[in-house]
Amino acid sequence: MAGILVWFWNERFWLPHNVTWADLKNTDELTFPQAEDLYLACPLAFCIFMIRLVFERFIARPCALGMKIQANGPQKAQPNAILEKVFTAITKHPDEKRLEGLSKQLDWNVQTIQRWFRQRRNQEKPSTLARFCESMWRFTFYLYIFTYGVRFLKKAPWLWNTRECWYNYPYQALTVDLHYYYTLQLSFYLSLLFSQFTDIRRKVVLSCTKTPRIEEGLPPPPAKAPDFLLMFMHHLATIALITFSYVNNMVRVGTLVMCLHDASDVLLEAAKMANYAKCQKLCNLLFVMFALVFMSSRLGIFPVWVLNSTLFESWEIVGPFPSWWLFNLLLLLLQALHTFWSYLIVRIACRAISRGKAGKWNPLHVSKDDRSDIESSSDEDEAAPPPSHKHHSNSSNGTNGAHGTNGYLSGTPCHEDH
């Protein structure tokens, strides 16, 4: 184990030439970032997760109920033992052959069985109230951490001159504000990484016939691009960037990266809350603001201001070393994700506007007739006139098609998806 640690913390990988870990030990006059400082982030991530549960239960939920956001989930599928067994034990997405077999077995038409499976899948999706509480928690944290970052960065010399990030590197003292900012950011993203497996999952649907949208619910079928995986990669890259930049004492440029990202995240979560509360005009305005801030900051300011400093100014002042390459590779990966998400935003806006929906173009819009592009309603499908059941004069179980087999399904109309 000792040999592995020595290899992992090799000075020639982590530090510039002629710099050792001994040179960066804390003294009575100066404090430098230490790798062991980050151990605090793990228990703090657990504390943040517990604070989130309390916040959602006692603050976000009452706010949602005060805005008349309903706690009820999507419409439940009517009980049917045969279909339930297929759903739980075999498949949640039956193919055409299985649908035809079930149709003959139950004496229902295929559309009714498809509708039952859609409703059954929707039962496992969270309610609008749950989504609102999650967004309100993220909005609150992003607003707090962004405000804190702006407050201390406006007094930092490297905000106005990014070359200050590299002068006297790596012998730059760590301030209390920088340590607190880094520890809190790392703890939050660790909590997001772990809670992503229990939070509401989103997936990108790129359809040739419908406006692209990101739906919430179960993991997407293989034909659909998994936004869940992209977010997981984003969290991993963010955690790695925070960790590497702290250990390398690149905290000055690290603060610029984090604060720049928090600016658009605040607006996105605010737009989601407005959407869930059915404040459509406010949602439209907030999403337009989010799109403008996102693309200007992540396609403009980030590459021109931050990447220019990490790639070129640091090369000129400090020179490259192994972990420098890794740090910049992670930043370029982050930029690639920015480009992909910006492409989705533009594509959604162009498709909606081209179809004459300029009044309600934003990807957060949810209504009965125009599904959300980025945040969907609880139901997987939309309402449509229900198809009629098959009618047979004689059936094997002595029941007619309107009532199904063995009384499992009545003739009550169900909602159809489009």
Rounded to an integer, the average pLDDT of 363-376 is: 39
- pLDDT of amino acid 352: 65
The residues near 198 (Cβ < 8 Å, ≥ 6 apart) are none
Rounded to an integer, the average pLDDT of 389-416 is: 37
Identify the sign of the CA torsion 312, 314, 317, 323: negative
* pLDDT higher than 50, residue 85: yes
More confident residue, 111 or 364: 111
More confident residue, 316 or 123: 316
- pLDDT of amino acid 227: 66
How far separated are the first and last CA of the chain, in Å rounded?
58
Tell me the pLDDT tens digit for each residue of 232-255.
877 888 898 899 899 999 999 999
More confident residue, 114 or 403: 114
Compute the distance between CA of residue 340 and CA of residue 151 in angstroms, rounded to an integer: 31
CB 366 within 8 A of CB 376: yes
- pLDDT of amino acid 138: 95
Q: Of 26-30, 138-142, 357-361, where does mean pLDDT reach its minimum?
A: 357-361
Compute the distance between CA of residue 336 and CA of residue 194 in angstroms, rounded to an integer: 23
Provide the token pair at 101. 């077999």
- pLDDT of amino acid 222: 36
- pLDDT of amino acid 403: 36
- pLDDT of amino acid 204: 38
CB 60 within 8 A of CB 133: yes
- Separation of CA 346 from chain center: 18
Rounded to an integer, the average pLDDT of 322-348 is: 90
Helix segments in 11-80, DSSP class H: 11-14, 41-55, 61-66
Instruction: Specify which of 105-109, 144-148, 396-400 reaches the highest per-range mean pLDDT.
Output: 144-148
